[in-house]
Amino acid sequence: MQEFQAENKNLFKEELGEISNKYRSNIQYFIFKSIILRNLYGVDIMAEAIEIAKLRLFLKMVAVVDVDMRADNLGLDPLPDIDFNIRCGNTLVGYATEKQLEDSITFGDMFARRDFKERIQQKLDIVSKTYDTFKWLQMNQQDNREAFKEAKRQLHDKLASLNEDLNQHLYGHKPDLGYATWLDRTQPFHWVAEFYEIMHNGGFDVIIGNPPYVETTNIDYNIDFCQNNYANLYAYCLIRCTDICKSCSYNGLIVPMSITSIRDYQLLRNNFFNKEKLAQFNSSVFGAWLRQPEYGA
C-alpha cells in the first residue's frame, strides 16, 4: 500500500492511517492482526482442531513482537478475539446461501412465509452490523475493554438466536429424531448466518481445505445434501465449495484419486471443473486428471 501511495497519495489513506495515527507495538503484528480479523475464516467439526488453529494464529502474531520491558504490558497489544472467525460446526449441514434458505421456506400460507423471511432477514442484518462493530472495536479501541465485552456478548446472543431459528427450520424437514439428538449428531453450520456479509457479497475469494475421506455408509444421519448419491463425503465438500465461493475464486483442495477416474464421479467432475474458477491440485492428481481419455488429453 505504501508503494502504491508513493505514486498516488490518494490511495489507501484510511488503511495506512490505521498504522500512522495509532500506537502499534509492531507493524508486522498489526498486519497479521488485520489479516486474521478481516480476511481469515475457518470451519471444522472437531472442537480440538478449532482451538489448535486459533492457538497457531496467536503464536504467529506473538512471534513477530519486539518485547519492551519498560512499556506497559511489555509493549504488547491485546491479542484479537477470533472466536467468530474460526468456527466449530458441520460444513455440510446447514444453509449456505440466502437462496438455499429462501428455497426451503415452503410451509404455511404466503403470509406465514413472508413473516418468516422478514424475521430471518432482520436478524441477519442485525448480526452483520453487530459483527462489524465487534471487529471495529478490536482494531480501533483496544483499551475500551468494557465496550468490547458488551459487543461480544451482543454478537453471541444475536447469533445464537438466529441459529436457533435456522436450526428449528432445518429440523422441521427431517423430524425423524428428537431435536436435541439431531442437533448433537449433525452440528449444523449455517454459512449464511455465521458469515453473512461474505455470503451476501457473493462468497469467499479463496477456499483451502482437506475434506474428509469418509464413506457415506458410515454416517449415522441421512445424507441429502444434493440429488446425487456419492459414496464419499469429500464429494459433498466439493459441492459445498461451489456454494460458498465467488464465481471467480480459487479453490485448493486435497482430494483422492477417485475424482479423476471413477465413473460415479463424472457428474461431479463436470459440475466442478466447468465452473469459472480455478481448481488447484497436487501434481500427481492433476497429472492423472490430464491423462483421462474421456477428456481427450
Average pLDDT over the chain reads 83
Would you kindly state where each structural domain of the chain is located, as residue ranges? Answer: 1-88, 92-201, 202-297
Burial class (CB in 10 A: 0-12, 13-18, 19+), 218: exposed
What gap in Å lies between CA 85 and CA 203, rounded to an integer? 15
Q: How many CB atoms lie within 10 A of CB 109?
A: 7
What gap in Å lies between CA 126 and CA 153, rounded to an integer? 14
Instruction: Quick: pLDDT tens for 171-188.
Output: 986 667 789 988 998 999
Helix (H), strand (E) counts: the chain? 14, 5
Q: Is 74 left (phi over 0), alpha (psi -120 to 50) or beta?
A: left
pLDDT > 90: what percent of the chain?
Answer: 45
Say if CB 219 and CB 229 are below 8 A apart. no
Instruction: Quick: pLDDT tens for 197-233.
Output: 999 999 999 999 999 988 877 676 555 555 557 888 8
Instruction: Quick: pLDDT tens for 242-291.
Output: 899 998 888 888 888 888 778 888 888 777 666 544 444 444 444 333 33
Q: How many CB atoms lie within 10 A of CB 127?
A: 23
Burial class (CB in 10 A: 0-12, 13-18, 19+), 156: middle
Phi, psi (rounded to 5 degrees) for 113? -65, -40
